[in-house]
Amino acid sequence: MTRVALIAHDEKKDDLIEFAQTHEAQLREYELIATGTTGKRLMEETDLEIERKQSGPLGGDLMIGSEVAEDRLDGIVFLRDPLRAQPHEPDISALLRICDVHDTALATNLASAEFLIEGLAD
């Protein structure tokens, strides 16, 4: 089954929730994982079933990176805030590196997230 991770910086969580609501029927077809707070909010505001990892500051992004290293993920949507990211939020550089090493799709904005979700559907 297709497996996708969902992560968002604090300022982008609302955007990710709106994205998930818009694509809920399609996302329901995937196994979803998310960092702790993002996953909690997604489950509260959608009917999606999500496996929650630790919150980003506690290593949830690294846990998702290990899933990529074990070839257990087909893609990641990481909506990041390039202008106002806070020090406690996940850093994309490690995820970017592991995704490049394992040829795993990583979307960092809504436009690329649309392409990733549509591409996985094909």
Output the known binding site for substrate. Answer: 9, 13, 35-38, 55-56, 88
Catalytic residue among 10, 14, 47, 61: 61
Contact 37, 88 (CB under 8 A): no
> How many residues comprise the chain?
122
Distance CA 80, CA 69 (A): 21
- In sign, the C-alpha dihedral spanning 16, 19, 25, 26 is negative
- Is residue 74 flagged as an active site residue? no
Question: Binding site: what residues are annotated?
Answer: 9, 13, 35-38, 55-56, 88
Nearest to 51 by CA among 69, 32, 64, 70: 32
- Residues 72, 2, 10, 85, Cα dihedral to 10°: 60
Active site residues: 61
